[in-house]
A and B are shown apart, each in its own frame.
Chain A
Amino acid sequence: MIEYLFMLTAILGAVLALMQRDLLKSAILTGITGASIAILYQYLLAPDVALTQAIVGAAIIPVFFALAVYKTRRMEE
Chain B
Amino acid sequence: MNSLIPLMVIVPILCALFLNLLHKKDRTIKIIAIILALILPALPILANYGLHYFGGYVPLIENPTLGTDLPSLITGTALNTFHPAITYSFQSAQKIFVFILGLVGLLAVFTSLFETRRPSGVYGYMMFMGIAAITAVLLTDDIFNLYVFFEIAALATVGIVLVSNIKGNYETALKYMILGGIAAPMLLLGVALLLGVTGNVNITDIIYSLKNGLVNPQSPVLLMACGLIVFGWLYGSGLPPFHTIKSAVYSKALPSGAALVQAFSVFTFIALGVIILRIFSYLPFSQWVILGVSLLAMILGITMAILQTDLRRMIGFLAVGELGYIGIGLGLGTVSGITAGLFQAVNEAVITAFLFIGFGTVLYQTGISDTRKLGGMMVRNPKVALLVLLAGFAMAGVPPLNAFQSKLMLIQASINAGLPELGVIMILLSIVTFMTFMKAFHAVFLRPKPADLEIKNENIPKATIIAMLVFLVVCIVFGLFPQVVTSYLQPLATSLGGVV
Do A's and B's CB atoms come within 8 Å in the complex? no
What residues of chain A have their CB less than 8 Å away from a CB belonging to chain B?
none
